[in-house]
Structure 1
Amino acid sequence: MKKICSTLSLISGILLLAACTSNPVPNQELAEKVDIEEFMGTWYVHGYTPTAIDKGAWNGTETYERLPDGKIQTTYEFRKGSPDGNLKTYHPVGNIVNTETNAEWRMRFFGIISAAYYVLYVDPDHTFTVIGHPNKKYAWIMSRDSKINEERYSELRGELEEREYELSNFVRMQHQ
Structure 2
Amino acid sequence: MPTMRRFAVLLGCLLVLTGCASTGEPPMTPLQSRANVDLPRYMGRWWVIANIPYFAEKGKVATADVYTLRPDGHIDNVYVYRKAFDKPEKQMSGVARVVPGTNDAQWRIGFFGGLVKADYLVLEVASDYSWALIGHPKRNLAWIFSREPRMEAAKYEQLRAKFAAYGYDPARLQRVPQFPDQVGQPGFQ
With structure 2 as the length reference, what TM-score do the two structures score? 0.77
Gaps of 5+ in 1: 13-25
**RMSD of aligned Cα (Å):** 2.4
- Once residues 8 and 62 of structure 1 are traced to their aligned partners in structure 2, the CA distance between those partners, rounded to angstroms, is 41
After the TM superposition, which residues 153-168 of structure 1 pair with which residues of structure 2 at under 5 Å, given as runs? 153-167=156-170
After the TM superposition, which residues 15-94 of structure 1 pair with which residues of structure 2 at under 5 Å, given as runs? 27-80=30-83, 82-94=84-96
Larger radius of gyration: 2
Change (3 A) 1:73 1:9: farther
Gaps of 5+ in 2: 15-28, 180-189
User: Alignment partner of 1:47: what SS?
Assistant: strand
Change (3 A) 1:69 1:9: farther
Number of residue pairs aligned between Structure 1 and Structure 2:
163
- Once residues 96 and 37 of structure 2 are traced to their aligned partners in structure 1, the CA distance between those partners, rounded to angstroms, is 14
Instruction: Say if 2:109 is the partner of 1:107.
Output: yes
Change (3 A) 1:4 1:78: same
- Once residues 101 and 66 of structure 2 are traced to their aligned partners in structure 1, the CA distance between those partners, rounded to angstroms, is 20
Q: Percent identity?
A: 30
Kindly state the Cα deviation for residue 109 of structure 1 after the two structures are TM-superposed: 1.8
- Once residues 88 and 11 of structure 2 are traced to their aligned partners in structure 1, the CA distance between those partners, rounded to angstroms, is 32
With structure 1 as the length reference, what TM-score do the two structures score? 0.82
Instruction: Say if 2:100 is the partner of 1:98.
Output: yes
User: Alignment partner of 1:159: what SS?
Assistant: helix
Kindly state the Cα deviation for residue 170 of structure 1 after the two structures are TM-superposed: 2.5
Kindly state the Cα deviation for residue 98 of structure 1 after the two structures are TM-superposed: 3.1
Matched residue, 1:124: 127
